[in-house]
Amino acid sequence: MRRPPAVASALMRALLPAAAYEPVAGDLDEAWHAGTLSRARYWRLALASIASLAAARLARGPGGERPRTGDGGMRTLMQDLVYGARLMRRNPVFTAAAVITLALGIGANTAIFGMVHALLIEPLDFRDPKNVAFVRAWLHETGTLRFNLSTREAIALRRQAPALEDVAAYQYRSANLTGGDRPERVQAYRVTANLFDLLGVPPLHGRTFVESEGRPGGGDAAVLSHGLWRRRFAADPSVVGRDVQVDGRRITIVGVMPPEFEFPVFNFKGELWMPLPLDEDAIVSGRAPSSSATVVARVRAGVGYEAAQAQVDAVMRRLEDQHPETNRGRGARLAEIGSVDDEIAGPAMMVVMLAVGVVLILACANVANLLLARGVARGREIAVRAALGAGRARIVRQLLAESLLLSLVGGAAGAAVAYVALNALRTALPEVVQTTQPNLDALGLNPVTLGFTLAVSVAAAVVFGLVPACRAAGPSTQAGLREGAGAGGSRATRRLRSALVIGEVTLATALLILGGLFVRTYQQHQRIDPGFDAHRVLTLAISLPEDRYATPESRAQFFETAAARVASLGGIESAGFVNVLPFSTYNRAGGFTIEGQPAEPGREPVAGFRSATTGYFTAMRIPLRAGRAFEARDGARGAPVAIVNEAFVRAHVAGRDPLGARIRLGGARSPAAGRTIVGVVGDVRHEALTAGAEPEIYVPMAQSPTPMMMLAARTAGDPEGYAAAVRTEIQEIDPAQPVFHVKSAETLVGESLFLQIAAAAMMSLFSALALALAAVGVYGVIAYGVSQQRREFGVRLALGARPRDILRLVLRGGLRLVAAGILAGAALAFVASRLIGGLLYGVGPGDPATYTLVAVLLGLVGAAACGIPAWRAGRTEPVSVLRE
């Protein structure tokens, strides 16, 4: 038996009153099965039924009572809406102009709200996320926050701060997953066994870690993220209990997390979690080494952050007393886990939200302007209504209902605009955001964003509809009945339109100036020399599993072979490895001492630690300032040497020859051998273009081969085009070895500018929109004024005025308004730019070039917007006008 159309049935079930659903849908189904209805006809009848029953219900009012005729809420609203819809159909040009304007304004606002909501407001998917906190190290002397604590500090906090319900720690571990068709690198973490309980997220399948797995010898286990489970194990629930090959070792999968579980935040989202076994007593007593870990805590419900912070301070002070060699000057700060990225993106987002709000205001102003003009044109209709007994409130209500309809249609179109914009944004996010930002799934249209669209649409209808409606229904309505009267609109209406022009130009000018400042900020960033040449350089990362590459010699040999093989590829000019590339978001730093400059334990100076192969400086074109680069003789058995950068020389060996000075890596009591400085290289910006260069120490890779290294290969053409060949070369050395983070060095630098690029792009987009809206607004007002003054111009021309005089008259009137707007806008921008000073770089908030450029641009646009109607005014045919 054919089934009736399911969607139509569902619609009827959802939309028909309960009492009507059964007989109506039953009748249709019966006719369907009797074979008398086509699918199209079933649909038509179903929709017609819904419409007629809904209309009947509206007409009766909510209580089922039939309202008194002529008045009463829903019925008249319905009438007004129907009338409004008819008007919209009859004036397609007006409707299109208003709807497109509103769609842009509302769409842009919805998109930005959707972004802010997903990235800043939407709570993280943990139990009571407000009570989950990062515990970050706070260095008193420099006033800086560091993300990691030591495991000893974490244990002390867990044991001694009762305001913290629990404390967990985790460490990032690169892990190579093998055993499938192709080796894969996954984002893996070692986590204390209590982490999942602390976050309060139960697994989807299996279990999370048990306490015994958190102790040494407690056995290894793996919990998978939902994404990895789906990608690698085809979402098969029976993987729980099976083994997986992690870095060559077999580990049993014990659980799978649900899709909404994203942890950690503010670092690579984990795909695989393994227990971090801690011998707590041994670490506390110093028998076992303490290591560095990121620490999260759950603040006990009802205690509050302030009280918890006080206890944390007390614990950290005790540690300072007990272990001055490691803990001097170290405190710890609690911060709600969801608030940490707000610190960075929050201010920029606020500016963008303001900008997009301005765009909406301009859109509303333009539509209001259209409605004002139409209100004058409809003067006669409204006067007739008033004469027939419609009260002022009744007329205002009718006009507002029309505005509402316009706004809702604009809002619906705006939702479509936002959908496209948000999808584009999602794919445009750089890798580092995609892999670290939680809640990206919320970035799209959802009930919350659509609710926002609806609210904005209704609010916009009131904003742009109220003044024209009151104006049109004003006390002078009866004047509209007289033939030819009120043609220019009342004086008050004209003044209102002038105010509209000034206001629009003001806002557009201010926004353009702010946008210009952001663009200049981005340009200034691009002008910064990062200290290396990112052009045509391919980069990627390799992480050797410790089981197969247990000895330093094996690792050194792998990377030396890889560097040599890559460098010998056709089209590769030079290639080298380093443990952390600039702008890779990875960094390494450590304490050191200079021979002859003793440092107190715990207060050793710190420098960036780089382990590089011989070809690295050449491939990156990092200039050698003094001495020599690494050479083949700096092998594992060669004399220990180091190269430092200029920032190091300035900070630590100023005033003497750095070459030949000896440094020792590690703390003051480090057993490491002293290294002779053999060269000085130029400074490289590592984390951000705007951050100053930090002191750096380079050591030869062969003397300190870290398991994870990053390749820099200078190519002859498009670097990404060489990725496949390089990957093949690596895999020929070791087929089980994945490569990752494959991208050009320019992309690497560009991703670090993501915030600046996004801010500049969005501000440019929105200020361009604002400019366009303002231009249309100015044009509309002036053109309308000209059309209303045709008679006057005709008289003037007949009395001997030259067309040029008329043109000048109109132009002068319009440009006066535009000039007032530009001045007011510049003043507004001057005030507003103080507030965004912190987001600018290399350009002052009062940057004269930006202000001048924007003023000239707006002057030109304004002149064009006024010029066209002015020119038309000058060409008025006096005879034809006077005859009208």
26 lines the binding site for other proteins (CB under 8 A): yes
Q: Which is nearer to other proteins, 16 or 810 (CB)?
A: 16
8 lines the binding site for other proteins (CB under 8 A): no
Closest approach of Cβ 15 to other proteins, in Å? 10
CA 425 distance to own-chain centroid: 8
Q: Which is nearer to other proteins, 12 or 758 (CB)?
A: 12
> Which one of the spans 44-52, 274-282, 353-361, 728-736 is the region binding other proteins (CB under 8 A)?
44-52
Q: Which is nearer to other proteins, 48 or 864 (CB)?
A: 48
Closest approach of Cβ 26 to other proteins, in Å? 3
| Interface of this chain with other proteins, residues 52 to 91, rule: CB under 8 A | 52-53, 56
Closest approach of Cβ 860 to other proteins, in Å? 58
The stretches of 685-802 forming alpha helices (DSSP H) are 723-733, 745-752, 754-788, 790-798
Q: Which is nearer to other proteins, 52 or 551 (CB)?
A: 52
> Which one of the spans 39-47, 475-483, 493-501, 564-572 is the region binding other proteins (CB under 8 A)?
39-47
Q: Which is nearer to other proteins, 15 or 772 (CB)?
A: 15
> Which one of the spans 30-38, 338-346, 415-423, 550-558 is the region binding other proteins (CB under 8 A)?
30-38
Q: Which is nearer to other proteins, 22 or 547 (CB)?
A: 22
Sign of CA dihedral 89, 93, 94, 96: positive
Inter-residue contact 326 to 668 (CB < 8 Å) = no
CA distance 715 to 569: 10
Strands 641-645 and 675-681: parallel
Inter-residue contact 698 to 610 (CB < 8 Å) = yes
Sign of CA dihedral 338, 343, 349, 353: positive
Closest approach of Cβ 421 to other proteins, in Å? 38
580 lines the binding site for other proteins (CB under 8 A): no
Identity of the amino acid at 559: F
529 Cβ neighbours under 8 A, 6+ residues apart:
none
7, 14, 18, 34: residue in contact with other proteins (rule CB under 8 A): 34
Binding mask 412-441 for other proteins (x = CB under 8 A): ------------------------------
Q: Which is nearer to other proteins, 20 or 795 (CB)?
A: 20
CA distance 85 to 405: 7
Using CB atoms within 10 A of its CB, is residue 816 exposed (0-12), middle (13-18) or buried (19+)?
A: middle
CA distance 627 to 814: 69
36 lines the binding site for other proteins (CB under 8 A): yes
10, 38, 39, 48: residue in contact with other proteins (rule CB under 8 A): 48
Closest approach of Cβ 870 to other proteins, in Å? 56
Q: Which two tokens stand for residue 459?
A: 């609010």
16 lines the binding site for other proteins (CB under 8 A): yes
219 lines the binding site for other proteins (CB under 8 A): no
30 lines the binding site for other proteins (CB under 8 A): yes
Q: Which two tokens stand for residue 565?
A: 């093989």
Nearest to 695 by CA among 667, 662, 654: 654
606 lines the binding site for other proteins (CB under 8 A): no
> Which one of the spans 27-35, 434-442, 546-554, 620-628 is the region binding other proteins (CB under 8 A)?
27-35
Q: Which is nearer to other proteins, 32 or 793 (CB)?
A: 32
31 lines the binding site for other proteins (CB under 8 A): yes
49 lines the binding site for other proteins (CB under 8 A): yes
631 lines the binding site for other proteins (CB under 8 A): no
50 lines the binding site for other proteins (CB under 8 A): yes
715: enclosing H helix or E strand: strand 708-715
Sign of CA dihedral 274, 279, 280, 282: negative
No. of helices (H) and no. of strands (E), the chain: 27, 23
> Which one of the spans 38-46, 174-182, 427-435, 764-772 is the region binding other proteins (CB under 8 A)?
38-46
23 lines the binding site for other proteins (CB under 8 A): yes
10, 14, 27, 695: residue in contact with other proteins (rule CB under 8 A): 27
11 lines the binding site for other proteins (CB under 8 A): no
296 lines the binding site for other proteins (CB under 8 A): no
Closest approach of Cβ 48 to other proteins, in Å? 3
**Which DSSP state fits 241?**
T
Task: Give the binding-site size for other proteins (rule: CB under 8 A).
Answer: 28
Peptide bond into 598 cis (omega under 30): no
4 lines the binding site for other proteins (CB under 8 A): yes
CA distance 470 to 486: 16
Q: Which is nearer to other proteins, 64 or 217 (CB)?
A: 64
> Which one of the spans 14-22, 708-716, 763-771, 772-780 is the region binding other proteins (CB under 8 A)?
14-22
Q: Which is nearer to other proteins, 36 or 526 (CB)?
A: 36
The secondary structure of 201-218, three-state, reads CCCCEECCCCHHHHCCCC
Closest approach of Cβ 42 to other proteins, in Å? 11
CA distance 126 to 199: 5
Q: Which two tokens stand for residue 510?
A: 């201010």
Match 């209580």 to its residue by tokens: 63
CA 705 distance to own-chain centroid: 37
Residue 158 to residues 193, 295, 298, 326, 867: CA-CA distances in angstroms?
13, 10, 10, 19, 73
Q: Which is nearer to other proteins, 24 or 186 (CB)?
A: 24
271 Cβ neighbours under 8 A, 6+ residues apart:
186, 187, 188, 224, 225, 227, 228
Closest approach of Cβ 470 to other proteins, in Å? 37
33 lines the binding site for other proteins (CB under 8 A): yes
The stretches of 653-716 forming alpha helices (DSSP H) are none
Nearest to 698 by CA among 582, 606, 613, 583: 613
Q: Which is nearer to other proteins, 16 or 386 (CB)?
A: 16
Nearest to 457 by CA among 821, 110, 192: 110
Number of Cβ within 10 Å of residue 325's Cβ equals 12
Q: Which is nearer to other proteins, 50 or 641 (CB)?
A: 50
10, 38, 39, 51: residue in contact with other proteins (rule CB under 8 A): 51
Q: Which two tokens stand for residue 799?
A: 């009395």
Q: Which residues bind other proteins (CB under 8 A)?
A: 4, 9, 16, 20-31, 33-34, 36, 44-46, 48-53, 56
